[in-house]
């Protein structure tokens, strides 16, 4: 099964957009000046009425205190992270303003709300973590400010590792061509760093390597200013398979999902320490020595340990880390059987942090007794591949976090985190989980959701509140069944008469009442006139209606295939025509907002490249990731792993595939001789090699209303 991290979303392809956000203004510093700078960027209307001061933590826990004094809101906080969370708390709960990856509601309020009596909030989480390797490749632009406002104090930051490896391999005698055969392309670096593949999506240019290194330095500066610690890429034994050609003794790791050749692992001899030392020296040269957390998981997702003693290997990894960064913490993913009991057995566990990665479905923190007595945090993935779809077990999040905090393992439960493969979806999930870090008692989702709705849209009404209660009972319900991410849309499937799932590890099952969900969407849409000035409402409206049409498509597909199996030409003709019209209708709906457009993704990829060759490579990476993924084999089981219901993708990729399937099926029903079966993989490869960015058609507000009415009417 694919790494949870394989399920993507800090789009490395959009990371360059962050560069414009990361310049740090030099000015006379006051208390928490970087947080004041954040306010200047996001809510400048608040600046003249805002001040910060410092207070001690509450029994070692982060704290912030809000109070209005002399018409100025003062945020007293124990850290920059707590100060930023205090600002976010005031914006959400008093100004009814919020920020998200799916639109911001940060316009000025008519009158600043006062906090007459001091409000003190204490965090119950030492660690408030964000991101997963895949997020780097599936999302990310205004990430850092959003994380700060949500109180994050630890963030995965593996940007710029290309330069570290380049400098390391140069010292080992590699030439530039050999180096780029190891480094992955801009859309696939996450899986390279996790030891799943090497070179795929490349070769990267020197300009790309330098650009990412420069960006990482800016990211690290901003993180430090905002009180957030980066989790850097540590050295955990991974090495190029080509090192065997230079006389190095390697442990072959075999194949990873799809048939990718994994990077090798160094055997635990003197070469391991030599290369680890070079790697950490080069890391320090580029990014400094003020680094305290490192990630890297040996034998991730089925790697081979062979004859080596895993316990000793883990100890060696930690010893080298401590040699170059004394006192640092090794951050390990609690995913599948990792980290194994053997890896943990000889470690100094006071310098380890395990992420309970898949908390929406697992409770390994309990079954493994806090990972054999290791500090851990509770996390959720929720979305794999940044797929389209409404999903999130909200009440379970609260229940499990509360249960861990009150269990016998509470002393080892260090906090919470979000680890989506892609984060441009379901903003309610990420807000909810991160908010749990600031509650000491269990939170009821049906109560909490009211403040979320008000902050997301700036105002609320009975219809919106009723709609969201229905969403909690359907797409955001905490059903017991195992599920990896949102339910997939059959529109996005590689055509077949037996589509069981769109991606290899996904599901098309709807573990909720689809008719009940539509009731909620009808209520939500009924508030359109009153909410016409809310950008976040408009985004959510498109997303919710998209889900309704996606659900309808499941029923029509079932009927279409039933007609095909019954050899009913007339019924198949009608149902297949309806199915194709629904894909076109979905494309039109999604064209109404930039958050659901293929063009937005490809334009960001194009902007990542600075030369024509770099632009071409970045666009191909972006297209490959969301279609057949890789490698170049018709048998790959990774195709559609990161499928999306996006305008442009619906019309120019999914629709042609289904048109070919339907044409071939009709010919078969009629007994007509047909040519060779359509080669879907060849079509997909050819599509990724085209340079078209597919700019969307502009759709008027009236036309949008007509499209939505048609979908909700089921016509």
- How confident is the model at residue 693, as a pLDDT? 97
Lowest-pLDDT range, 379-388, 522-531, 578-587, 674-683?
674-683
**Region 273-286: what's the mean pLDDT?**
98
- How confident is the model at residue 19, as a pLDDT? 35
pLDDT tens, 157-187? 999 999 999 999 999 999 999 999 999 999 9
Residue 354 pairs in a beta bridge with 332, 376
Sheet of 119-122, strand order: 50-54, 72-77, 63-69, 119-122
> Is it the case that residue 24 has pLDDT exceeding 60?
no
3-class secondary-structure state, position 179 = helix
Q: Which domains are seen in the chain, by residue range?
A: 4-14+126-459 (3.20.20.80), 490-511+534-712 (1.20.120.670)
- How confident is the model at residue 643, as a pLDDT? 98
Q: Where does the pLDDT of residue 12 fall: very low under 50, low under 70, confident under 90, or very high at 90 and above?
A: very low
Phi, psi at residue 500, to the nearest 5°? Answer: -90, -40
Output DSSP code: residue 425.
S
Mean per-residue pLDDT over the chain, rounded: 94
Q: Where are the beta strands (DSSP E) in 218-339?
A: 229-233, 238-239, 250-251, 255-256, 260-261, 264-266, 293-295, 329-334
> Is it the case that residue 715 has pLDDT exceeding 80?
no
Give alpha helix (H) positions in 288-338.
310-324
3-class secondary-structure state, position 344 = helix
Among 508, 486, 488, which Cα is nearest to 422's? 486
Per the CB < 8 A criterion, the answer to whether 183 and 199 are in contact is yes
Residue 622: partners with Cβ closer than 8 Å, 6 or more residues away: 13, 187, 601, 602, 604, 605
Sheet of 250-251, strand order: 238-239, 264-266, 250-251
- How confident is the model at residue 700, as a pLDDT? 87
pLDDT tens, 340-386? 999 999 999 999 999 999 999 999 999 999 999 999 999 999 999 99
Among 178, 697, 92, 46, which Cα is nearest to 450's? 92
pLDDT tens, 305-331? 988 999 999 999 999 999 999 999 999
> Is it the case that residue 260 has pLDDT exceeding 50?
yes
């Amino acid at each position: 099964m694919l790494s949870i991290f394989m399920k993507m979303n800090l789009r490395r392809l959009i990371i360059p957009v962050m560069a414009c956000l990361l310049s740090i203004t030099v000015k006379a510093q006051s208390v928490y000046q970087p947080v004041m700078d954040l306010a200047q960027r996001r809510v400048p209307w608040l600046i003249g009425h805002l001040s910060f001061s410092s207070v001690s933590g509450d029994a070692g826990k982060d704290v912030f205190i809000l109070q209005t004094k002399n018409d100025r809101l003062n945020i007293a906080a124990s850290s920059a992270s707590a100060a930023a969370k205090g600002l976010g708390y005031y914006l959400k709960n008093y100004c009814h303003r919020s920020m998200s990856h799916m639109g911001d509601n940060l316009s000025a309020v008519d009158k600043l709300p006062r906090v007459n009596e001091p409000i003190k909030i204490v965090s119950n989480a030492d660690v408030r973590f964000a991101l997963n390797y895949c997020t780097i490749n599936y999302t990310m632009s205004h990430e850092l400010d959003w994380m700060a406002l949500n109180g994050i104090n630890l963030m995965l930051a593996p940007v710029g590792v290309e330069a570290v490896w380049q400098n390391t391999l140069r010292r080992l005698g590699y030439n530039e061509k050999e180096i780029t055969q190891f480094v992955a392309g801009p859309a696939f670096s996450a899986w390279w760093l996790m030891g799943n593949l090497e070179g795929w999506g490349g070769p990267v240019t020197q300009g790309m390597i330098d650009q990412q290194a420069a960006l990482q330095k800016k990211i690290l500066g901003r993180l430090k200013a905002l009180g957030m610690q980066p989790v850097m890429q540590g050295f955990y034994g991974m090495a190029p398979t080509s090192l065997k050609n230079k006389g190095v003794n390697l442990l072959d790791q075999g194949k990873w999902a799809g048939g990718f050749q994994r990077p090798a692992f160094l055997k635990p001899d003197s070469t391991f320490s030599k290369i680890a030392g070079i790697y950490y020296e080069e890391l320090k040269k580029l990014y400094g020595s003020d680094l305290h957390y490192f990630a890297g998981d040996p034998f991730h997702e089925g790697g081979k340990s062979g004859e080596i003693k895993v316990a000793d290997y883990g100890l060696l990894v930690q010893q080298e880390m401590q040699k170059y960064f004394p006192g640092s913490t090794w951050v390990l993913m609690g995913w599948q059987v990792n980290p194994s009991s053997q890896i943990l057995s000889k470690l100094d566990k006071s310098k380890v942090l395990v992420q309970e990665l898949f908390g929406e479905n697992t409770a390994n923190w309990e079954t493994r007794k806090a990972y054999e007595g290791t500090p851990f945090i509770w996390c959720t993935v929720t979305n794999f591949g940044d797929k389209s779809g409404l999903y999130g077990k909200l009440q379970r999040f609260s229940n499990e976090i509360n249960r861990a905090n009150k269990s016998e393992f509470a002393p080892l439960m260090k906090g919470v985190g979000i680890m989506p493969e892609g984060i441009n979806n379901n903003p309610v999930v990420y807000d909810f989980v991160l908010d749990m870090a600031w509650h000491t008692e269990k939170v009821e989702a049906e109560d909490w959701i009211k403040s979320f709705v008000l902050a997301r849209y700036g105002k609320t009404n009975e219809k919106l509140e009723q709609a969201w209660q229905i969403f909690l009972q359907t797409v955001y319900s905490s059903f017991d069944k195992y599920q990896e991410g949102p339910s997939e849309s059959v529109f996005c499937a590689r055509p077949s008469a037996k589509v069981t799932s769109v991606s290899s590890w996904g599901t098309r099952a709807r573990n909720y009442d689809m008719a009940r969900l539509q009731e909620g969407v009808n209520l939500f849409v009924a508030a359109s006139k009153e909410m016409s000035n809310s950008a976040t409402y408009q985004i959510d409206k498109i997303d919710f209606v998209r889900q309704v049409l996606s659900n309808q498509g499941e029923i029509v597909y079932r009927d279409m295939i039933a007609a095909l199996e019954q050899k009913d030409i007339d019924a198949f003709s009608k149902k297949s025509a309806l199915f194709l019209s629904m894909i076109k209708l979905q494309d039109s709906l999604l064209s109404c907002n930039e958050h659901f457009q293929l063009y937005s993704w490809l334009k960001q990829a194009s902007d990542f490249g600075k030369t024509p060759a770099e632009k071409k490579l970045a666009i191909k990476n972006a297209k490959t990731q969301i279609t057949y993924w890789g490698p170049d084999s018709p048998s790959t089981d990774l195709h559609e792993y990161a499928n999306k219901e996006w305008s442009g993708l619906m019309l120019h990729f999914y629709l042609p595939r289904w048109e070919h399937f339907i044409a071939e099926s009709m010919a078969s029903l009629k007994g007509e001789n047909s040519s060779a079966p359509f080669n879907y993989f060849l079509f997909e490869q050819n599509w990724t090699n085209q340079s078209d960015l597919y700019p969307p058609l502009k759709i008027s507000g009236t036309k949008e209303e007509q499209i939505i009415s048609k979908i909700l009417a089921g016509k």
